[in-house]
Structure formats: C-alpha cells, structure tokens
Structure 1
C-alpha cells in the first residue's frame, strides 16, 4: 500500500510539473511574441515616438515688416530688445538675487512679485523675463556685476519701435500683446512675447506685416531641458509697407496744431494721396509696446481732449460755413438761382414765427453767389437752401463725399450725418421741418462731417469734378494690398461726378475771393507769395444754443466761455489757385472763429506743402490749367 501511495504522489507531481512547465513555456512564448511585435513589427512607429519625445519643434517669431513714408523714411522699425532673465535653479536664492538686481536697474516691487509668481508655475530651468527694453547702460551694469548675480543673464530679441513717436501715432497705430479674444488657433499668436497690430496701419495690415514663423528643432532630455539645437529655419520676414504720408510735413502739421484739440488733413486733389493726417493731442505708441502702467492709461482715457481719438477720421463735427459750397453747387445744378441773382440780407430771416440770424448783426445787404461765399452770408444760404429743399442738398453732399464712410485705410473711420426727410423719419419717426433746412444750409443742425470728408469734398470741388477717394497705402502691382492704380491721375483711377465745369468754376472763384479779395472772411490769412496763392472757406460751428435774451444783451465772446462751450473753428482750402494740386481741412475744437484760428493754420500748411513739392511749377500730365 505504501508503494501504491508513492506511485500516486509521483504521478500527481509529474502532472503538476508538466502543467507548470507548460504555463511557463506559454508565458515565455507570449513574451517573446510581444517583444517580436514591438521590436520588429512596430519598430518604425516607436522609433518615431522616441524621436518626437527627444526632439521638439519650436516656433520662431519672424521680424515684423517695416513701414516707411513716401520717401522711404522708416516710420516703424524693429530694434534690438535687451532683456534680463533669471533661471531659478541657477539663482539659488531668487529673492536675494532680485534684490541685488534692483540696485542696478529700475525694478519695481510689482515686477519682483510677478517674477516670483511665474517661477512657481514654471520649471526650475525655464528662464523668466525680469525686465525688457534695457538701455545699453543697464546692460553694462548687469554684465559687470554678473558674478554677484547667479542665474541672471542678458538676452537679445527684437522689439517694435516708432522713431517719430506722437507725430504718427494715429496713423501707424501700435502693437501690443495678444489678448485671449484675439487667439485664432495660430500657434504664433500663443508665443509669450509675440505682438500684433492693435490700431492704425499696424492693425489693418497686421497679417501682411507679420510674416511667417520660422522653426527651431531642438533636442531635449526627459525633463524637457534643451540639450542642443539640431536645425533652424528663420521663416519669412513681414513685408514692407509704404504709405503716402510726408513725414516732415506731418511733423510740421502736428507742431502747428500744437496743444489744441485739433485735426488737419492734407490731400493731393488729383490722386488722393494723404500727405498729412494729424490729430492732437497725440500719444506715445512705444508705451503700448512695452506695456502701459495703470497711471499712464488713466491719464490717457481721462484727458478731455481725447488723445486716443483720431479726430481726422472719427471726429464728427458740424461743418459750419465750410458746407456752403455744397449748397451753392446744388443750387446752381438745380437751377434755383443764377450766379448773379441777388438776395437781400438785413441780418436775419423770418420763417413763420422764428427768426434766423446772420453772423453779421447789421446784415450784408444785397448778395450774389460770389459775394455770398466771399462774405459767408448766412441769410443768402438760408434763402437758397429753402428754395432747394433738404433732399437736393443731401444728394449733392453725398456726391461730394459727405455722410458716408469713404473706405479709408485706417480703422475707426466714421461716416458723419447728412440729413434728409427719409433720414429723419427713419431715425426719429418725425417729419422734416423747413426751418431745419435753413439750419442745414449753413452746415449746422443735424449735419456732421469728419475732417477727412471735408478734405475730400474740397478736392472734388477744385479738381474738375473728379470723384477722388483718399488713400494712405502706396499700392504696387503684386504687393497683395489691393488693386494698384489708386495713386494714378484721375483719367486712370477715378470717375467724373458729371457736374458742370462752369458751376464748379463759380464756386471755386468764390473760395478764391474768401482769401484774395479785400473783405473776404479770411483775407488776412492769405498767401501773399506769387504762384502759391490759396483759395478756401472759413467755418465757425456753434456747440451751444444762443438765446434771444443773450442776443439782446450781447452774445458772449468765446474767450469768456468755458472751453467746452466755445465754437469749433474750421477751414477748408486749396492751392495754388490757378492750378489746384493740394487741399486741406482743419478743425480746432472749441477754438473760436474759423477765420482767426483755423485759416492761419491752413495757410501755413499749404505754404509748407507747396515748398516741399518736388514738381512745383510743373503742370500735371493730362490736367488742363484752370482759370478763375
């Protein structure tokens, strides 16, 4: 029996050993099969994954394209940006290092706190930018003291710089960091130091100026630390943009406007080139690139003169008497009055139980169209506006470029208001009154225009009736900016408005009389130099209602009123008189009388513009010399 039990145990052991051996053999076989699958069948896939884990592709921001003026003068460029960075694992005691660094360069307490916050979120070997835009003196002090600043280093990048600062701030705009709402999925926009255009030309043509990103292929270890750079592609720099502005003329315009809240536009009447587009006060666009302090931002937005507002294209003002040419031309075209037909001005006009006053208390007497423009007689234009009706006035204003967005090359352009019967009914649900036509006839009431529109109006009046449009970008074939030819002569670029040449001559002669005949409202601001004479029209727009009691007691002078209640001073002009080439529009907010304040500015600008014309005295090809 003992022998039988031993044999039974032996058989059980043998079976178990065989089962265990078979299981082990199966596991070894499965392991060998898996190894074969991973190392042979999936070898290519895992090789790629390993390389991806070892090699990183990093984006390199391309240099932003330059912006230059009509003569190639650089206006927006890229400068070397020296910045100081700190690496936590090398610095050891970061707060102490920052404290020592703060004795060498300006390092506010808030910046130190920011650096310490960023270090908690990032790996120890990742450099943290402490301060950008260091001066060469700052860099020198940091480098000299490098042994006492472990973990601190100087890096060099590129930063946008505007050498003319405030002079061209409203034209060029500025660049700043990308906000969350501006992220489009383009990885370039997610780079921490990347800047995009936020206003002006920088914003409108941002993608054109931005270029295409480059790449850097780097080898990293398991922690993500860069071991070495394997390859580098610098990408494609942004493209260069040339604008129509004459920088020196722009600077002259800004200086001439001074500290006033004002705007000026200078335009080539034949090709639409904007030679100057000034708005004061300005601001420093470089401050937006480096980052505004809360104090700087508060000063900008609280300034009642609106330094951030480009008044030349977005400021909407009653045009005052500069609108009278529109009414005169509409009346001539409609045949409601002849140039020699006279209207008597006793100093006021009665309509129902309302009296409408002329600016000259005693009246001008009998006025024809030439005298009406020369003396800017309100009663004369009340009368012809009444004969015309508001709808015909509005139709002519729109033909001359008023009351609509012109499609200019800058953001923020506004269209103004040219009222009509349909406009009032649609906007207010009320009927139009004839008294409102009289007020509109002298450029007041609901009428609103921008300085750019007034410049375009003037250009179309004096260039022979060509519907010129303003532009800021000098386009060339194949540049991707749009259809070339916008800066060609009218026959190749702009259509005729179909207005009688004789009627245009009559209006232009009236504008010449304003400046060049004794008694003209701007005679004292005329250009006396032969060959450079100008024509123009003054405008004074009320911003408050004058009561009858004040009229009886004597209307208060502008200088006796608070600034915001003073009249706006306006002027539109062109030169030279015998062959118009340039025009300008001026607005000085709450400046007072157009003849006393705005006309002298326009005179100085048109003198400077003509002096700077390299083709001065030569007739423009294809354009006849104009008489009158």
Structure 2
C-alpha cells in the first residue's frame, strides 16, 4: 500500500492524469462549434501573455503562424492558449463531457473513476474560489485541474474516429455463450466539419513530415494510424528555471517527471481500433508513449484479415508513408 508505483491500482480505470496535449482536439472542436474558422491563423512567438503572466509554448522559439490543422500537427501550445481564452471554459467543458470525459460509463469492471472536467461552478462549490482566466488558458492544453483516466482517453479517441457517436466501452461480450445486447450509440451532436478537422490534424501528427509522432507512424498501406501526443507537466517550472534552462526529465526525481501520453485510432481511412497509452512520469508523449502505441496497434492490425496485403515492412519504415 505504500509502494509509490501503486501496483494494486487498476490504472486504466482508476488512474487519473492531466490529459496534456491529447486534450487539444476537444478545444479545437469546441472552437469550431463556437464559430471559429479552422483556417484562421494564430501567431506563436513561443509564449502567450495574459496580464503580467507569460504562458510558454513547448517550442521556445515559437511556431510562427498556424491554422488549426498545423497547430494539432505540431502541438502548438500558444494556438490553444489563445483559442481557449476566446471560447471560454464552459464551451470547453461541454465538449469534453460529450466525448466521455468527466463521467463514468458503468464499465463492467469495478473501480472506474470519473476524472475531472472543471468549471467555474465546480470551483466555487469545491474550493470556494472564483475562476480565473489563466485557468481557462492552461485548460486549453489539458493542464490545470483537468484529469482523465486512460479508459476515458481511449473512448475520446474512439468517438472522434467514429464520426461522433457516443460509444461506451464494454469488456464482457457474452455470458454463458449468449451475446449480450449492444446499445446503439447516439450521435454526440458535433458538426462534421469539427470532426473532420481534428481527424485530419491527428493524421498530420502521425503521417505528415514534422508531425510530433511522425517517427512512430505505421507506413504500411491500409494500416496508417492517426494520433495525438501529450506531455503532462506535474511540477511548476519557475521563471528562474525557464531563464536558465528547463531541467530535462532524466535529471529529475521520478515523481517530478512529466507523464507521457498518446491517443490514436487506426486505420485512418477506415477506423477499427482506438487506443490510449499513458506512461507515468515517462517523459514526452512523442518519445515514450507514441512508439508503444505504434507497436501495439501494428500487431493488432496485422491480425485483421481484411487489410491490404502489401508485404510486411517494419512499422516505422518509410515505405508508402502517408504525407498528406
């Protein structure tokens, strides 16, 4: 019980983690539903100023001007800081809940946790404090009070992949040889444009040069995955540390290292599977979580007899890599 790794916890259901940049699809869809043109560009100089406080992008020198597709592909923080501030926390929270965050599913294994999708009402009730605009800004990149389980992140990816149907996860398929009834999922009520833009952005992450998970792509035709990296910060980085250089994860004590996350679905053109990978204090989503997801998804897809037969290159090979 005192083991810091909590080996007795079913972390897929009960582990709660900041979703980090895997949450950016939620913010993007909320923005499109609020009327934002996904082709509008936001300039990233490497930081975002709100009052006297600077919120930093992971790319210190900035990304320049990006639209939503490229902001997802490159995981630009400044784009989503700005977008979150423009649309507000309530629009973000509403979209998060539609995609399965902040609630349980009645999963047929005990121990499921609901995570947390914060709102001003929640903060007043629980912390007896008002909501600050800076809290909306950091929610834009999946930080702050936001918490999600790996199961919830997989469900989020599945609902994006299937075009916005509210599927719910189940482990038990049959009892005593009899198939259990499957509830027909309802539409979430998100526009086709919003779904299409974030699906395309996730494709860019994995299959376009410069995407944060391009090195973890599956290059075999018919097996390409679409995903989103996430690196969830668990400690506060001081201004002095930013000026002198942010410490690398490997130089920190284990509990102070970032969580590594990756969500994905595949095949991109005809989705069958969705997945989330969370590596506690594992470092970056692109360096730690995405390669694990790629390897698992590749093995799963190889078992699919309906996929195109085009040789058997290694999953990270360059053969027929999708670049558009």
State the TM-score, normalized to the length of structure 1.
0.48
Kept after mapping to 2: 8 A contact 1:485/1:493 = no
* Alpha-carbon separation, structure 1, partners of 2:49 and 2:163: 37
1:502 offset after TM fit, Å?
2.1
Partner of 1:494: 185
Partner of 1:569: 260
> Equivalent of 1:319, from 19, 30, 39?
19
1:520 counterpart residue number: 211
- Please name the residue that 2:29 is paired with: 329
The one of 213, 224, 231 equivalent to 1:533 is 224
Q: What does 1:251-330 correspond to in 2, within 5 Å?
A: 301-330=1-30
Instruction: State the 1:462 CA deviation.
Output: 1.0
* Equivalent residues in 2 for 1:394-543, closer than 5 Å: 394-475=93-174, 484-486=180-182, 493-543=184-234
Q: Compute the displacement of 1:615 (Å).
A: 4.4
* 1:610 pairs with 2:310: no
- Judge conservation of contact 2:101–2:156 (CA < 8 Å) in 1: yes
How many angstroms does 1:306 deviate by? 1.4
Name the structure where strand makes up a greater proportion of residues: 1
**For each residue in 1:181-227, what CA deviation from the matched residue of structure 2 results, as whole angstroms up to 9, or x when unmatched?**
xxxxxxxxxxxxxxxxxxxxxxxxxxxxxxxxxxxxxxxxxxxxxxx
| C-alpha contact 2:150 2:278 (8 A) present in aligned 1 | yes
Q: Relative to structure 1, is the Cα distance of residues 501 and 477 closer, same or farther in structure 2, using a 3 angstrom cutoff?
A: farther
| Cα distance per residue 1:353-389 (max 9 Å; x no partner) | 1111101001000010011000000000001100110
Structure 1 contact 515–536 (Cα < 8 Å) conserved: yes
On the 8 A contact 1:322/1:538 being kept in 2, the answer is yes
Q: Deviations over 1:262-315 (max 9, x none)?
A: xxxxxxxxxxxxxxxxxxxxxxxxxxxxxxxxxxxxxxx333211111110000
Considering only aligned residues, what root-mean-square deviation do their CA atoms show, in Å?
1.6
Return the alpha-carbon distance in structure 2 between the equivalents of residues 499 and 357 of structure 1: 30
- Deviation of 1:477 after TM superposition, in Å, equals 9.6
CA distance in 2, matches of 1:617, 1:583: 19
- Larger RCO: 1 or 2 (CA < 8 Å, sep 6+): 2
The correspondence of residues 49-198 of structure 1 with structure 2, limited to 5 A, is: none
Displacement of 1:613 in angstroms is 2.6
> How many angstroms apart in 2 are the aligned matches of 1:544 and 1:341?
33
- Structure of larger gyration radius: 1
- Deviations along 1:400-423, one digit per CA (max 9) or x if unpaired, are 000111111111110000001111
Q: Distance in 2 between matches of 1:452 and 1:316?
A: 10
Q: Deviations over 1:158-187 (max 9, x none)?
A: xxxxxxxxxxxxxxxxxxxxxxxxxxxxxx
Shift of 1:501: 1.5
Q: Is the helix fraction higher in 1 or 2?
A: 1
Query: How many pairs were matched up?
Result: 310
CA 497–477 in structure 1, closer or farther in 2 if over 3 Å, else same: farther
Tell me, in whole angstroms, the C-alpha distance in 1 between the residues paired with 2:84 and 2:254.
31
Q: How far is the alpha carbon of 1:428 from its aligned partner?
A: 0.9
Give 1:475 shift: 3.5
Contact between 2:153 and 2:263, CA under 8 Å: does it hold in 1? yes
**In structure 1, what is the equivalent of residue 246 of structure 2?**
555
Shift of 1:614: 4.3
**Unaligned ranges ≥5, structure 2:** 310-323
How does the TM-score come out when normalised to structure 2? 0.93
Deviation at 1:484, TM superposition (A): 3.2
Does the alignment pair 1:384 with 2:75? no
Tell me if structure 1 keeps the 8 A contact 2:222–2:307.
no
Q: Which runs of 5+ in 1 are unaligned?
A: 1-300, 487-491, 619-627
Kept in 1: contact 2:279–2:289 (CA 8 A):
yes
Partner of 1:112 in structure 2? none
* Partner secondary structure for residue 344 of structure 1: strand
| 1:344 alignment partner, one of 35, 39, 43 | 43
8 Å CA contact retained: 1:477, 1:484: no
Per-residue deviation, 1:426: 0.9
